Structure 1
Amino acid sequence: MRHLFTYILAMLLLTLASCSVTRDLRKADAHYDYGEYYAAAGIYTKAYRRIPSAEKLTRAEVAYKQGECYRYINQSIKAENAYMKAIRYGLPNDTVFLQYAEVLRKNGKYQAATIQYQQFLENHPEDLQALNGLESCRLAEEWKNKPKKYTVNRLQELYLKRSNFSPILIPAEYKTLLFASSSVQKEGKKPSKITGLPDNDFFITKLDQNEKWEKPLPVEGAINTEFDEGVGCFDPDGKILYFTRCVNKSDSALSGSSAEIYRSVRSGEQWSEPEKLSIFRDTNAVFAHPAISPDGLYLYYVSDMKGGYGGKDIWRSPMYEKTFGPPENLGPQINTPGDEMFPTIRTDGSLYFSSNTLPGLGGLDIFKAVYLEEDSSWVVENMYDLNSNADDFGITFFGKKEKGLYSSNRNEPRGWDKIWSFGEPEQLTQISGFVTDRFGEPIPEASIRIVNDKGTNTKVISRRDGSYSYQVEKNAEYAMLATCRSYLNYSNQFVTNDKDSNYVVNFSLTSLYLPVRIENIFFEFDRWELRPESGPALQELLKLLLDNPHITIEIGAHTDRKGSEEYNLELSKKRAESVVNYLVKYGIDSERLSAQGYGKSKPTRVDKYMETNYPYLKEGSFLDESFVETLSLQQQEIADQINRRCEFKVLKTTYKLF
C-alpha cells in the first residue's frame, strides 16, 4: 500500500510538472507573438530546463524561439547557443540554419557561418539573404585586411548606463548634440517587455572650449514624455527637429503601440509642443527614422507599409509645408527582404543608412549610396572602415568634414548601444585599441610591449579608459604583449602594409589570483569525453599557457549538488583530466598542469555579473546546497547550472624560471 501511494504521488508530481511547463510555454508564446521578446526569452529559458530530454521536438522548438528572442534583443551569444540546441535536437524547420548563420556572422565567426549558409542554400538556392550572407563572409576577410579611411573611438564623455544611440549634430555650428538614451527609468513605468530596457529619452550636450563634450542632460520641455523618443534629424537650418516617438500605453505590446514621426521647432533653448506628421493613410504601418533632404523638399523615413521589399524599407515623400505627397520606395538597390533603417542625408545629397541584409560584416552595417541621375540608379558601398560584426548605425557628420559620430554595440556583452566617434586619421600608420579584463572592464596602466622585425622594441601604457595608441612603421611584422600587475600576459601579432592605415588590436587580460571559469566547455551527458564544440575555448586556454610559459595551473572540475559525493568526485576528476590531456596533446608540459575533481564540495561564489543577470543571487554568497534549496525550482536549475563548471587557477608563476 505504501509503495502504491509513493507511485501515485510521483505520477501526480510528474503530471503537475508537465502542466507547469505547458502553461509557461503558452505564456511565453503569447509574449513572443506580441513581440515582447525580452519577457518571452526569460520564460522560454526557464521552461526549457524542465522539458525532458526525450521530448526532442519540443526542446528544439523552444530552443529556436529562445534564439529568435535573443536575436531580436541583441543577445547574439545567447542566440547562437540557442540555435545550436535547436539544430542538435533536430528542428524540422531549416530556417534555423539561416538564423544560426546570421548570429554566427554577427559574432564574428565567419567560417562557421559559411557552413550554415551553405546548408540553408541547399534547399533555398535563390534566397537573397543567405546569398548575401555567404558573400559577406567572403568579403569580411578581404575588408579586414584593407587599410582604413577612418579611425574610430568610443566616446567616454557620452558613456551613460544602458543604451545611448543615434547622435544628431545640430546645423550649422555642429557644436550641440542630441542623442537617445535609455539611462533613466521613467516614473511609473516598468522596463519594456520588448527590450528589457526603459523607454528612451533625448539627451543634449555641447562642446566646451576644449572641444570636449559636457555632461549630457535630458532635453527639457515637451519633447520627452512617458513614451519612447529617439532617432531623428534637423532641417538644414537647424531649427526644426524631426524625431520618432513610439506611443504605447504600458510596458506591454498587448496595449497597442505605434512608431510615428513628430516635429518640434527650436527657439534658443526652448522647444515647441511636438506635432505628429500625417505622412500616409496606412495607420497600421510604422513611420520612423526621419531624414530631410538638403534642399528641404523630401522627407526620407523608414516604414513597413505595403509595397516594400521585405521587412522595413527606406521611403521618401515630397514635403509641402505640413502635408506630404505619395510615398516612393527607394528601390531594390537600397531595400532588401531584411531591414534598412536609420537614413542620414549629407549636404552633398549622399544617403547613409544601415542594413542587416546587404553584404556586410554582421548585424546592421552602415552603407553610403549616391544617386546617378543619368541612369536613375544608386551606387551603394559598404562603409567597412566604420563597421564591425555587431550593429553599427545612426551616423551624423560635422557638416562637410569627414568626421562625425555614430552608434555601435560592438564589444558590448549585453548588446547595449554606445556612441563612437570617427574621422580621417593623420597621415601616419597607427596601432590602437583597448586593454580590458575578461568582463570588458577597462584596465588602466597596463604595459603593451611592441616589437617588430626592423628593430623596434618599445612600450606604451594604457590610459584611464584602457585605451592605447602608438605610431608604427609600414611594411613591418609586429608582435605585441600586454602585461599588468595581477593579470596574466596576452599576446597579439599583426603585419603593416605600405599604406597609411589605422590598425586596431584589443587585449583581454585574465586575473592572476582568481579562479577563472572556462566558458563553453562541453561534455557528453554523464560522461567525461570532450565534445567537439569545446575546441575554441580550449585553444584560447592553450594560447594563454603559451603566452605565460612560467605558470603552472590547476584544472578544476565541479558538479552540482545532485548525485552522491563519491560519484561526483570521480566524474569531475575525469573531466578535469580530459582537459589536461587535451592541453598535453597540443604541447603543454604535463608538469605545468594538474587535474582536480571537486565534485560538489566547492559551490560557486556569486560575483557582481551573476547578480546582475540573476537578481535573486547576491554578490559574495555561495551557491551551496542549503542556499540553493531555498530557491524556487526554476531558480534551483539555474544555480545548479552555474555550479557545473570547469575552472583554472594559477598555482605558480616561477616554472623553469630559475
Structure 2
Amino acid sequence: MKHLRFRHILHRRQKHVLLAIGIAVMLAACGVDRNIKKGEKFLALGEYYDAAVQFKTAYQRTSPKDRRQRGELSLKMADCYDRISSSQRAVAAYRNAIRYKQDNGETHRKLAENLMKNGSYAEALKEYHIALDSLPDAPGIAQGLQAAGKAAAEKAHGSKYIVKRMDVFNSRRQDYSPMLAGDKSEQLYFTSTRNEAKGDGLSGITGVKAGDIFLSEKDEKGKWSPPKAIESGLNTEADEGTPALSADGREMYITQCLTDPSYPRYAQIAVSNRSDAAWGKATKLEISRDTLSSFAHPAVSPDGNWLYFTSDMPGGKGGLDIWRVRLTGGTTGGAENLGEPVNTPGDEEFPTFRPNGDLYFSSNGHGGLGGLDIYIAKVGSDRRYHLEHPGYPLNSQGDDFGMTFEGLHNRGFFSSNRGDGRGWDHIYSFELPEIIQTVKGWVYERDGYELPAAQVFMVGDDGTNRKLAVKGDGSFEQEIQPGVNYVLLATCSGHLNHKEEIRVSPVEASREYTLQFPLAGLHVPVLIDNIFYDFDKATLRPESEKALNELVKLLDENPNVTIELSAHTDYIGSAEYNKRLSQRRADAVVAYLTAHGIARDRLTPVGYGKERPKKIRKKLTEKYPWLKENDVLTEDFIRKLDKEKQETANQLNRRTEFTVLRTTYGMFDEKGNLKQQPKPKAKKDDADDEIIIDLNS
C-alpha cells in the first residue's frame, strides 16, 4: 500500500515537471519571438546595437537543436556587428551562421571583409575564394581577393609616414574626425562619445552616448589642453560630429543625426555660425529635397566654393558616394557625383582637403589593407582625379579616416579603430617628412589692422592662376613650386591694390617665403613712413629712397589713381614759415616721383604746415597707450603732455602723407566714354573667375 502511494506521488510529480517544461518552452518561444520582433524594429530604425542585443538574446533562448533559427539569428547579429564596425563579433557571428549551415556566397564575402579588418589576411583569402565560387560576377569580390593576396606584403613594405596614438585627445569611448583650426592650427575640434557628452541615454545605433563636438587648444609651449565640450547651442542631445570649417572660419558644417522612436531618421548636414566667439545652434542645410537619403561628412574646398559630402542618394555608383554642391551665398544647388575613379560600388566617405587642393577620402571599395583605407585624389594635367594609396602605417587593417592638416605641411591628425576590439575609433597623429616650399603673407591696412575680407590672386609662369583664401588674421599660405616665377596681387574693397613678386629656387630643405601686403585706404590719409629731409630744408635724404620707391611701385600697380601728396610740420615756428617749408617738401617728393615715371597730372603737392595736426587712429594707440583713438595733436593738446610725450607728439605731426583723390584717371576719353570696354567673360564649368596679371610688367 505504501509503495503504491509512493508511485502515485511520483507520477504526479512527473506530470508537474513535464507541464513546467512545456510551459517554459512555450514561454521561451514567446520570448524569442518578442526579441526577434524588437530586433527587427530596431534594425528598421537603423539602431544596430539595440537590434544586435535583441537578436543575441533570441539566439541564447533558442534551442541548439533549432539549427535553422540559430543560424538565421547569427546572420542578423553579424549584419548588425558589421554595421557598427565590431569586426571581431561579426567574425564570430558569421562563423556561427556557417556552422549552422545558413550561409551563402554573401556570408563568406562579409566574413572575408571582417577578417581583413582584423588583419587575418590568409583566412580572408580563403573566404573570398569560397565567395567567388558562389558569386563569380558579384562586384567587389575579385578586388577583395586581390587585396587579401597582397595586403600582408604591402603592410610589411610600409611607408615613410610616422603615426602615433594621441592619448591626450582620446577617452574610453569613441573619438574621431579631428579638425584643426585657428591661424596657427592651435585648436582641434573633434567628435567624442565620452561621458561628458550631452544627454543621459545611450545610442541605439552604437551602444554609447550620442556624439558631441569637443575642443582642445594648444598653448605657447605646444601642449594640448584636456578636451572640453563646446558650451553653446552647437551640441544637443542628438548626435553631432565630423566638423568642417568654411574657408573664412566663420561657419562650421557638421553631421547631425536626430532620433525618433517611430521611424528612421537619416543623417543630415547642418551649419553653425560663429558670433561673439561662440558657435550658435546648427540648422539643417538643404542640399536636396530627397528625404530618404543620408547626407554626412561635410568638407569645404580650399577656395570655399564647394561643399563635398557623403551620401547614398540615387544616381551614385553604389553604397555611399562622395558628392559636391556649389556654395552660393549660404545656399547650395545642383549636387554632383564625383564619379570614377573616386567612387565605387563600395563605400566612399569622409572627404577632406589638404590646403594644396589634394582630396583625401576613405573607401572600402578600392582594395586596401582592410576596412576603410585613406586615399589621395590628385587632379592631373588631364583635369581628372588620379588616386594614390599612402600605405601603412597611415592605413591599417581597421577603418582609417578623417584627416586634418597643419597648414601646408603633410602632418596633422586622423582617426582609426585599429587594434580596438570593440571597433571604437581613436585619434592619431601623422607626419610625412618632405621638402616643400611655401609662401605666407599678411594683408592689412596701412596704419591699421588685418583685412580678412581681402582677396589674394596668385599667378605663376607655369600656368598657375589661383585665388587664395585669407584667414581671420589677414594671413594666407600656399605651396609653391621650384623654378616658377609668381606674382601675388592683394585686393580689398575700399583700398588700393598691392603686388609682390617671388622667384622660387630649388632647395634641399623646406623653405617659407614671407610677404607683406599693406593696402592703402581710399578714404583716409596714408602715412609715407621713413621720409627724411635735411634739417630745416626740403632736401630729401638718401635713406628716403626706399619708401619713395615703394610709393612709385604702388602708383604703378594702381595706374588709375591720382593722389594729393601732403607735407606737415609741428607747431614750432611761424605758420607762414612752416607752410612754405612743407610746400617745398611736398614738391620735392613729387619731383622724385615724376623723375621715376609717374605722370605729373596724377600728383597734387600740398604743404599744410601746422594747419592739419595728426588725428590718431586706433592702431597707433597700441604703440602709444597714452593716446586715444580720434585724439587730435593740436598745440593745446601737446602742451598738456610731459616733455618726453610732447616730443613724440611733435614727431607724429612732422609727416608726409598721401590721400587718394580719384580712381578713374586715364579710363575715359574726351567724350567721357571708357577707353577699354570690358570683355565678356567666357563661361566655365568649374573654374573660378580668373585675374590676368602681366608677369613681365
Same fold (TM over 0.5): yes
1:356 partner letter? N
**Contact persistence 1:371–1:379 (CA under 8 A):** no
Does the 8 Å contact 1:171/1:237 carry over to 2? no
> Which amino acid letter does the alignment assign opposite residue 18 of structure 2?
Y
In 1, are the aligned partners of 2:112 and 2:127 still within 8 Å (CA)?
Answer: yes
Counterpart contact for 1:372–1:379, Cα < 8 Å: no
Paired position in structure 2 for 1:280: 288
Alignment-derived partner of residue 236 in structure 1: 247
Paired position in structure 2 for 1:340: 348
The answer for the alignment partner of 1:323 in structure 2 is 331
Pairs within 5 Å for 1:615-630: none
Matches of 2:428 and 2:382 in 1, distance apart?
Answer: 36
Equivalent position of 1:172 in the other structure: 183
2:157 to 129, 136, 146: 146
- Mapping 1:52-91, distance limit 5 Å: 52-91=63-102
d(CA) in 2 for partners of 1:258, 1:96: 27
TM-score of the superposed pair, with normalisation by structure 2: 0.58
User: 1:422 & 1:205 partners in 2: Cα distance?
Assistant: 17
How far apart in 2 are the matches of 1:398 and 1:409?
22
Alignment correspondent of 1:266: 274
SS at the partner of 1:183? coil
Write the distance in 2 (CA, Å) between the matches of 1:95 and 1:424: 38
CA distance in 2, matches of 1:25, 1:96: 20
Secondary structure class of the residue paired with 1:248: coil
> 1:324 Cα shift?
1.9
Superposition deviation, residue 425 in structure 1 = 5.4
1:200 deviates by: 0.8
- 2:375 pairs with 367, 379, 387, which one? 367
Contact 2:158 2:392 in 1 (8 A): no
Equivalent residues of 2:62, 2:70 under 8 A apart: yes
Pair 1:6–1:170, CA change in 2 (3 A): closer
Task: Indicate how the Cα distance of structure 1 residues 426 and 307 shifts in structure 2: closer, same or farther if over 3 A, else same.
Answer: closer
CA contact (8 A) 1:222 1:273 kept: yes
Identify the residue that residue 30 of structure 2 maps to in structure 1. 19
Q: Which residue of 2 aligns with 1:605?
A: none
Q: Structure 1 residues 380, 402: closer, same or farther in 2, change over 3 A?
A: closer
1:28-427 equivalences in 2 (<5 Å):
28-184=39-195, 189-249=200-260, 252=261, 254-267=262-275, 269-374=277-382, 376-424=384-432
Whole-Å separation in 1 of the counterparts to 2:383 and 2:132 = 33
RMSD: 2.0
CA-to-aligned-CA distance 1:251-299 (integer Å, 9 cap, x gap): x4x3542322222233463224433221122122211111111111111
Q: Structure 1 375/266 Cα, relative in aligned 2: closer, same or farther at 3 Å? A: closer
1:165 counterpart letter in structure 2: Y
Deviates more, 1:402-411 or 1:14-23: 14-23
Retained in 2: the 8 A contact 1:360–1:384?
no
The answer to whether the 8 Å contact 1:181/1:203 transfers is yes
2:342, 2:385 within 8 Å by CA — same for their partners in 1?
no
What is the distance in 2 between the residues matched to 1:5 and 1:222? 63
In 2: Cα distance, 1:287 partner to 1:185 partner: 26
CA contact (8 A) 2:410 2:433 kept: no
Within 2, Cα distance between the matches of 1:377 and 1:209? 39
Paired residues of 1:366 and 1:382 also in contact (CA < 8 A): yes
CA contact (8 A) 2:198 2:212 kept: no
Structure 1 residue 97: Cα displacement: 0.5
Contact 1:333–1:380 (8 Å) recurs in 2: no
Displacement of 1:188 in angstroms is 5.2
Task: Name the SS for the 1:411 alignment partner.
Answer: coil
Give, as a single letter, the amino acid of the residue that structure 2 aligns with 1:110: Y
Return the alpha-carbon distance in structure 2 between the equivalents of residues 22 and 126 of structure 1: 37
1:310 Cα deviation (Å)? 1.4
Counterparts of 1:403 and 1:336, CA distance in 2: 28
CA contact (8 A) 2:45 2:265 kept: no
Q: What letter matches 2:430 in structure 1?
A: F
Aligned to 2:638: none
Greater radius of gyration (CA): 2
Does the CA contact (< 8 Å) of 1:391 and 1:410 recur in 2? Answer: yes
Distance in structure 2 (CA, Å) of the matches to 1:344 and 1:187:
27
1:103 alignment partner, SS class: helix
Tell me how far apart the structure 2 counterparts of residues 207 and 185 of structure 1 sit (CA, whole Å).
Answer: 20
- Counterpart CA distance in 2 for 1:274 and 1:292 is 17
1:570-600: CA deviation from partner (whole Å, max 9, x where unpaired): xxxxxxxxxxxxxxxxxxxxxxxxxxxxxxx
Distance 1:188 1:217 in 2: 15
Q: Distance in 1 between matches of 2:203 and 2:56?
A: 18
**CA distance change for structure 1 residues 17 and 146 in 2, over 3 Å: closer, same or farther?**
same
The separation in 2 between residues aligned to 1:126 and 1:381, in whole angstroms, is: 26
Residue 373 of structure 2 contacts residue 401 of structure 2 at CA under 8 Å; is this kept in 1? yes
Question: Which structure 2 residue ranges, 5 or more long, are not aligned?
Answer: 1-10, 436-697
* Structure 1 residue 184 displacement after superposition: 2.9
**1:317-361 deviations in Å (ceiling 9; x for gaps):** 112112223111011311122211110012221110111222111
State how far apart, in whole Å, the 2-side matches of 1:154 and 1:186 are: 22
- 1:267–1:12 distance in 2 versus 1, CA, 3 Å: closer
Alignment of 1:613-652 (within 5 A): none
Query: How much does 1:50 deviate?
Result: 2.5
Matched to 1:205, the amino acid is: S
Aligned-residue offset at 1:214: 0.9
Q: Shift of the alpha carbon at 1:423?
A: 0.9
Give how far 1:143 is off: 1.3
- SS of residue matched to 1:96: helix
- C-alpha deviation, 1:9, in angstroms: 3.6
| Letter paired with 2:168 | E
Distance verdict in 2 for CA 1:268–1:153, change over 3 Å: farther
CA contact (8 A) 1:367 1:383 kept: no
Render the CA deviation track for 1:468-523: whole Å, top value 9, x for unaligned: xxxxxxxxxxxxxxxxxxxxxxxxxxxxxxxxxxxxxxxxxxxxxxxxxxxxxxxx
Amino acid corresponding to residue 239 of structure 1 in structure 2: R
C-alpha distance in structure 2 between counterparts of 1:356 and 1:24, whole Å: 32
Partner-residue secondary structure (3-state), 1:143: helix
Runs of 4+ in 1 over 6 A off after TM superposition: none
What SS is found at the alignment partner of 1:331? coil
Q: What SS is found at the alignment partner of 2:116?
A: helix
In the TM superposition, what is the alpha-carbon distance from 1:123 to its structure 2 partner? 2.2
Q: Aligned residue for 1:485?
A: none
Q: Map 1:422-441 onto structure 2 (within 5 A).
A: 422-424=430-432
When residues 368 and 15 of structure 1 are mapped into structure 2, their CA distance, relative to the original with a 3 A threshold, is: same
